[in-house]
Amino acid sequence: MPLVAAFLVPGSPLHYLRPDVAPWAPLARAHTRAAAALAAARPDVLIVYSTQWIAVLDELWQLRPRVQGLHVDENWYDFGDLPFDMRIDTELASACIAASAQIGVRSKGVDYDGFPIDTGTIVANGFLNPDGRMPLVIAANNVYHDWQRTEHLGALAAAQAERLARRYALIGVGGLSGTIFREEIDLETDRIASAADDSANRELLEALTGADGTQLRTACAEYAGKVRADMGLKHLAFVLGGLGSRYAGATTLGYGPSYGSGAAVIEFKVSGQTGRRGEA
């Protein structure tokens, strides 16, 4: 079974750079559990979709065999730098580009020294793949793609991974409720910005635990009407598209605030898998 794991992770640099801050520590620990589960699944490649890599023209895929450098987040530069060194599965990325016309999407590879890898991808890779052992396929979030098209994109990536006989994991990188505090706060008091956001987030996490994809999609649409959902939860759409009928519920490994916004580390159950790798 080539699909061996699937996760949603927030991509915020706050938990990564400052795990010592009490409200952020649980999410940092949840990432550690996710990383252990991912390592146990032994994927050949991580297929990453980050809401923070914004594309406008075409769907972009990273095609540089090795991307490395030092990134500084444009908002959270005070908290430290983000060095990165990632290997890219260019064969699989190229296959995704070639196949995307089948779903009516024009795709393009990027292979440039100094290309700005987004914070979310760097943080997800740093947490889940700290030694850089696993190569990645990284897909951009084209802002004009809707939920359905993004699901198709996830399905396309999964199909190409299977065609190339990869053991693969799907990683959706993005947040939940997007309302942030717009003034400086004492970090130790960070919390979800409102009770309504917190409630909606928890309802969504509850819906994710069920194994009913149709109900989940309905819950997502309702959720987007209640909160300022991060990019319409397209990172979830990508993962659900890749999971397809193998979606069998999910486990929340951690949930908490990211300067007021909602963030969660979620491990999906993949039907056909034996045993359970994560823990609540």
Partner 1 sequence: MSKGEIIAGFLAPHPPHLVYGENPPQNEPRSRGGWEPLRWAYERARASLERLQPDVLLVHSPHWITQLGHHFLGVPELRGKSVDPIFPNLFRYDFALDVDVELAEACCAEARAGGLVAKMMRNPNFRVDYGTITTLHMIRPQWDIPVVGISANNSPYYLSTAEGLGEMAILGEATRRAIEKTGRRAVLLASNTLCHWHFHEEPAIPEDMSQEHPQSYAGYLWDMRIIDLLRQGRTREVFEILPQFIEEAFAEVKSGAFTWMFSAMGYPEIPGELHGYGTVIGTGNAVMEWDLTRAA
Binding site for partner 1 (CB under 8 A): 53-58, 70-72, 74-75, 77-78, 81, 106, 110, 112-116, 118, 144, 180-184, 259
Give whole-number Cα distances, 134 to 41, 64, 125, 128, 269, in Å: 12, 15, 9, 10, 21
Is 55 or 220 the residue whose CB approaches partner 1 more closely? 55
- Nearest distance from residue 175's CB to partner 1, in Å? 12
Coil, helix or strand for 134? coil
- Nearest distance from residue 140's CB to partner 1, in Å? 8
**202: Cβ–Cβ under 8 A, 6 or more apart, which residues?**
255
- Nearest distance from residue 108's CB to partner 1, in Å? 9
Is 175 or 278 the residue whose CB approaches partner 1 more closely? 175
- Nearest distance from residue 167's CB to partner 1, in Å? 30
- Nearest distance from residue 250's CB to partner 1, in Å? 28
In the chain the first and final C-alpha atoms are separated, in Å, by 24
Do residues 3 and 168 lie in contact, with contact meaning Cβ atoms separated by under 8 Å? yes
Is 115 or 218 the residue whose CB approaches partner 1 more closely? 115
Q: State whether the Cα torsion 60-61-65-71 is positive or negative.
A: positive
Is 150 or 252 the residue whose CB approaches partner 1 more closely? 150
Is 58 or 203 the residue whose CB approaches partner 1 more closely? 58
Q: Give the residue among 81, 88, 43 at the shortest CA–CA distance from 65.
A: 88
